[in-house]
């Protein structure tokens, strides 16, 4: 489980540090002045995803593939929650294409915590009548990776 009191290590943000030397020390201003609308929308969709329902399961639309779901349903003997967990699982190291190796553990854990919270909100908004478990866990093998996923806790 990712601790809730972690803050990002701003020293990891090399572009921000260089910018902050000549401008104000303000992450929001940095983001609004240096990020394109394309990147903002793409990251917004990652942090607050759309969902697909298939065979009673809920899956992030960006990663949804019926063949993958059917594969995991077969491997889990039809356990939809276990299938959701595997299909929705993301390693942040993969999301950020190994850039996370340059970040401190605090920064990657902070991102995991934020994703856990935003996915929890997105799922509650989209499915108010369903219950989900959303996790962000430090990878046991690689301390510079956090694994995030979700699944239903009471499948209808």
Q: Which domain holds residue 114?
A: 51-152
Average pLDDT, the chain: 85
Q: What average pLDDT does this structure show over 58-68?
A: 95
Greater pLDDT, 53 or 92: 53
What's the maximum distance between 2 C-alpha atoms anywhere in the chain?
58
Q: What average pLDDT does this structure show over 61-71?
A: 95
Whole-number Å distance between alpha carbons of 51 and 30: 30
User: 120-148 pLDDT, tens per residue?
Assistant: 999 999 999 999 999 999 877 777 788 99
Residues 139 and 96 in one domain: yes
Residues 82 and 26 in one domain: no
pTM (2 d.p.)? 0.82
User: 90-106 pLDDT, tens per residue?
Assistant: 988 888 775 656 777 78
- Is 1 inside any structural domain? no
Whole-number Å distance between alpha carbons of 145 and 27: 23
């Amino acid at each position: 489980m990712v601790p809730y009191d972690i803050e990002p290590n701003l020293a990891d943000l090399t572009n921000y540090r260089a910018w902050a030397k000549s401008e104000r020390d303000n992450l929001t201003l940095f983001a609004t002045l240096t990020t394109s609308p394309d990147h903002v929308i793409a990251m917004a969709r990652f942090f607050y995803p759309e969902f697909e329902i298939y065979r009673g399961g809920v899956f992030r639309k960006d990663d949804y593939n019926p063949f993958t779901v059917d594969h995991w349903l077969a491997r889990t003997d039809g356990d939809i929650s276990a299938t959701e967990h595997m299909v929705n699982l993301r390693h942040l190291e993969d999301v950020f294409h190994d850039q996370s190796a340059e970040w401190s553990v605090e920064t990657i854990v902070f991102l995991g915590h934020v994703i856990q919270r935003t996915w929890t909100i997105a799922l509650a908004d989209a499915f108010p009548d369903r219950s989900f478990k959303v996790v962000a866990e430090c990878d046991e093998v690689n301390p510079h990776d956090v694994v995030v996923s979700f699944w239903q806790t009471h499948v209808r």
